[in-house]
């Protein structure tokens, strides 16, 4: 006899368990990225030279990546919308558009890293560049993880299974977008 575990079928908070789990993950992510951003603010407000160093980052590339992430956020929320209507074909299509957005984002980031490193702006050059590579690298890692999880979920959705997971990965992807919304002005605009 097999039964679904109680943890997946009962919700004391009134929030479906998968979604509640994502909120907990995001709460821990807020501490990680928020801690990084707080450190940045402390140094940036105290050291004028960080403004000069930020001049070497490429605003156009950062702005384009913001556009890409906002667009991919739209796609994933449309995938969630389609999954709620049990339109699995549309949901899978939008999930793959989102994954493609992730690829474009990482390609632009790779171009930026290549250009910066070739000009000597490595992560060991200064505290600013250490922060730049740590924050954008950690964010990029989250983008790649999101793409991988979406690929796994798309396989289930194609079979009409676990459609609620589209919402869960969507919430995660929007959070990755929100982090970038803050990193963009900090690293590319505040010069």
Partner 1 sequence: MSNSEEHHGHSAKHYVKIYWILLAMLGVSIVGPEIGIKWLTLITAFGIALVKAWMVCAYFMHLNIEKKIAWYTLAATLLLLLVFFTGVAPDVMKPEGQNWKSLYHEQTREEWDAEYDAAHHGDDHGDDHGDGGH
Binding residues for partner 1, rule: CB under 8 A, are: 13-16, 19-20, 23-24, 26-28, 30-31, 34-35, 38-39, 41-43, 45-49, 52-53, 55-60, 63, 66-67, 70-71, 73-74, 77-78, 80-81, 84, 115, 119-121, 126-127, 164, 167, 170-171, 174-175, 177-178, 181-182, 184-185, 188-191
Residue 1 vs 138, nearer CB to partner 1: 138
Residue 83 vs 147, nearer CB to partner 1: 83
- CB of residue 1 vs partner 1: minimum separation in angstroms? 27
Angle between helices 127-158 and 17-46 (to 10 degrees): 160
- CB of residue 151 vs partner 1: minimum separation in angstroms? 21
List Cβ<8 Å contacts ≥24 apart for 161-164: 163/83, 163/84, 163/86, 163/88, 163/91, 164/16, 164/18, 164/19, 164/83
Which tokens hold the place of 177?
A: 């977008």
- Distance, in Å, from the CA atom of 67 to the CA atom of 131, rounded to the nearest integer, reads 23
């Amino acid at each position: 006899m097999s039964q679904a575990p109680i943890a997946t079928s009962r919700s004391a908070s009134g929030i479906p368990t998968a979604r509640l789990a994502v909120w907990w993950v995001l709460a821990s992510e807020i501490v990680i990225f928020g801690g990084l951003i707080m450190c940045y603010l402390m140094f940036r407000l105290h050291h004028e030279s960080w403004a000069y160093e930020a001049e070497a980052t490429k605003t156009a590339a950062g702005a384009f990546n913001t556009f890409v992430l906002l667009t991919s956020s739209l796609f994933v929320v449309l995938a969630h919308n389609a999954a709620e209507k049990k339109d699995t074909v549309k949901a899978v299509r939008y999930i793959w558009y989102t994954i493609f957005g992730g690829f474009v984002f990482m390609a632009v980031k790779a171009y930026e890293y290549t250009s910066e490193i070739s000009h000597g702006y490595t992560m060991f050059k200064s505290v600013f560049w250490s922060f730049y590579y740590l924050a954008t690298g950690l964010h990029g890692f989250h983008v790649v993880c999101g793409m991988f999880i979406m690929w796994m979920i798309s396989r289930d959705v194609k079979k009409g299974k676990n459609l609620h997971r589209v919402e869960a990965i969507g919430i995660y992807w929007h959070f990755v977008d929100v982090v970038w919304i803050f990193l963009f002005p900090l690293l590319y605009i505040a010069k």
